[in-house]
Chain A
Amino acid sequence: MKLITAIIREVQLDKVREALIEADIKRITVSRVSGHGQQRIEEMYRGQIIVPDLIPKIRIEIGVNDAFVDITVNAILKAARTNGAGNVGDGKIFITPLEECIRIRTGERGGTAI
């Protein structure tokens, strides 16, 4: 089992969700986060251009069985990359080993609980 954590642009969320649903990955957790990478974005404040130091992003977390890791990653890659070639700020995907997964309702453990 792996935990896939993806940090993506806010505006790509709809596309990523649609791609995941198309790939039959329907169990996800989404949160709003802010952070700092290579990207600079500019906003307007009272007619001045400002560069906020923390940029709003979306974090997606998906727990998957090993067979589904590539499917999930490919779906996210395809949908979160902008303008075909990609741009600075498109985000990152982290994959971490997942030690255990427990469904609270039934108490079942492991791959079937995902």
Chain B
Amino acid sequence: MKIFGKRSLLILLLLFIGSAGLFAADNTHIDSGATAWMLTSTALVLLMIPGLAMFYGGLVRSKNVLGTIMHSFVAMGIISVLWVIVGYSMCFGKNILGGWFGWDSKYFFLKGIDTNILDAGIPEYVFTMFQGKFAIITPALIAGAFAERVNFKAYCFFIAIWSLLVYNPLCHWVWSADGFLFHLGAKGAIDFAGGTVVHISAGVSGLVAALYLGARRGYPYQVIRPNNMVITMLGAGLLWVGWFGFNAGSSVSSGLSTAQALTATQVAAASGALSWILIESFHQGKATALGFASGILAGLVAVTPAAGVVQPYGAMILGILASLICYMGIQLKNKLGYDDSLDAFGIHGIGGIVGALLLTFFIRPSWMRDAASVSGGHWTIWNQFGVQSLAVTIAIVYAAAMTFVIIYFLNKLIKFKSSEDDEMAGLDRSYHGERGYGMLNPS
């Protein structure tokens, strides 16, 4: 009986291999270089989510470390599933409901793209999975704004609904060939890899959520210190590495534009990190590790929308300006006293806005010439600045309003903010029944 079982398994396996061979016959015009890079990029962007988990996880108190890490990890589960079922369709389908979002029944459960090859020479599955990673990281970024004080179950519902009602429509408007921001002005609003769709939307939503839910117990009088800066630094490092997939992968090719985006990414991250510790040294007298990590992120966030259109000098200036403005933003936050706990708005919101607006002044001349010829001979920096401002404003207003509505109604069903006892006991114990450090032999 046992042998028969093994043999039938073998036959099944052979059948699968045989059928894979048959399908492969269709894939004659695959660009294997582009496909290979896009597969790598997909993996790199996924790597950013554990990176984010470590970055955020190190910054909270030890009683919340697992809960905070789970905010990122659970997004990999929830959003991946939603993405396959409806997400891809809502983002990249044809306009419905007046262009609010897209829909295409052949994208439902991805059932109609089994053998599709895109014009770029990559299987549509690769593009779907690549885009899906962006959908995962965006709601996970928001968690930094209300770290250490939300109910896990409510958070799960929140990111699911937020992804459907905020991320998918924004993604459709900016990146789908049908989206209205894709066609704004001469060559559309520039958002190469997600400054508007990912960072501004997540940052602004985080701010709204932080204001709505209120501060952590004891904030700002009780000092709330990071439990482990080492994993925070490792997380920032992983984010930097993963960002090459995020930005350079967004060229959806493997060629010149990929190299341009990759270079801009490296330059902006480095100049952002350096400027942050310089500013901090002048202002506070010490260059902190967290400051360096914050600078890396500010630079990377700012170059995200710009990576496709700026040259290295532009990327360098964007990194510097992003660090400067984010730094001032965090000082302002401390004055105003609202609890954007891990600066989701302070870095991603502000950095994204800085990048999306100021990239206009560093666009490479060939892009402007193309834009001019498309619009009939005349297209200035200020025309493009208007387009960028409009796109940014739409993203801010839409994300803020929808987030408010989602939290308002969700709060009626499940209390979003932790009870005082749960918050004091820590997310790990209250919602997961575990401890981050020394679980079996408490230390």
CB–CB A43/B424 < 8 A: no
Q: Is B405 an interface residue (CB 8 A)?
A: no
Q: Is B441 an interface residue (CB 8 A)?
A: yes
From A15, A32, A52, A54, B424 is in contact (CB under 8 Å) with A15
From B63, B217, B429, B443, A34 is in contact (CB under 8 Å) with B443
Q: Is A56 an interface residue (CB 8 A)?
A: yes
Q: A14-B218, A43-B433, A44-B433 are in contact. Are A54 and B442 (CB under 8 A)?
A: yes
Q: Is B31 an interface residue (CB 8 A)?
A: no
Q: For A45, what are the chain B residues with a Cβ–Cβ distance below 8 Å?
A: 434, 439-440
Distance from A5 Cβ to chain B, minimum over Cβ atoms (Å): 19
Distance from B340 Cβ to chain A, minimum over Cβ atoms (Å): 22
Q: For B434, what are the chain A residues with a Cβ–Cβ distance below 8 Å?
A: 43-45
Distance from A9 Cβ to chain B, minimum over Cβ atoms (Å): 9
For A10, A44, A50, which residue has the most chain B Cβ atoms within 10 angstroms? A10
From B217, B432, B435, B442, A14 is in contact (CB under 8 Å) with B217
CB–CB A52/B441 < 8 A: yes
Q: Is A69 an interface residue (CB 8 A)?
A: no
Contact bitstring B49-81, A, C-beta under 8 A = 1, else 0: 000000000000001000000000000000000
Distance from B139 Cβ to chain A, minimum over Cβ atoms (Å): 26
Q: A54-B441, A54-B442, A56-B442 are in contact. Are A43 and B425 (CB under 8 A)?
A: no
Contact bitstring B405-427, A, C-beta under 8 A = 1, else 0: 00000000000000001001110
| Alpha-carbon gap, A44 to B66, bound state (A) | 13
Main secondary structure of the interface of B (DSSP, over half): loop
| Interface size counted on chain B using CB atoms at 8 A | 19
Distance from B224 Cβ to chain A, minimum over Cβ atoms (Å): 11
**Chain B positions 211-237 with a Cβ under 8 Å from a chain A Cβ:** 217-218, 222
Interface size class of A (residues with CB under 8 A): 10 to 19
For B218, B421, B433, B442, which residue has the most chain A Cβ atoms within 10 angstroms? B442
Distance from B212 Cβ to chain A, minimum over Cβ atoms (Å): 24
**Chain B positions 143-158 with a Cβ under 8 Å from a chain A Cβ:** none
Q: For B218, what are the chain A residues with a Cβ–Cβ distance below 8 Å?
A: 14
Q: Is A88 an interface residue (CB 8 A)?
A: no
Q: Is A67 an interface residue (CB 8 A)?
A: no
CB–CB A11/B426 < 8 A: yes
**Chain A positions 78-114 with a Cβ under 8 Å from a chain B Cβ:** none
CB–CB A52/B429 < 8 A: no
| Alpha-carbon gap, A12 to B429, bound state (A) | 13
CB–CB A43/B435 < 8 A: yes
| Alpha-carbon gap, A32 to B434, bound state (A) | 17
CB–CB B424/A11 < 8 A: yes
Distance from B196 Cβ to chain A, minimum over Cβ atoms (Å): 40
Contact bitstring A1-22, B, C-beta under 8 A = 1, else 0: 0000000001110110000000
19 A/B residue pairs, CB under 8 Å, sorted by A: A10-B63, A10-B425, A11-B424, A12-B424, A14-B218, A14-B424, A34-B441, A34-B442, A34-B443, A42-B433, A43-B434, A43-B439, A44-B434, A45-B434, A45-B439, A45-B440, A52-B441, A54-B442, A56-B443
Given contacts A43-B433, A45-B434, A56-B435, 17 further A-B contacts (CB under 8 A): A10-B63, A10-B425, A12-B424, A14-B217, A14-B218, A14-B222, A15-B424, A32-B443, A34-B442, A42-B433, A43-B435, A44-B432, A44-B434, A45-B440, A52-B440, A52-B441, A56-B442
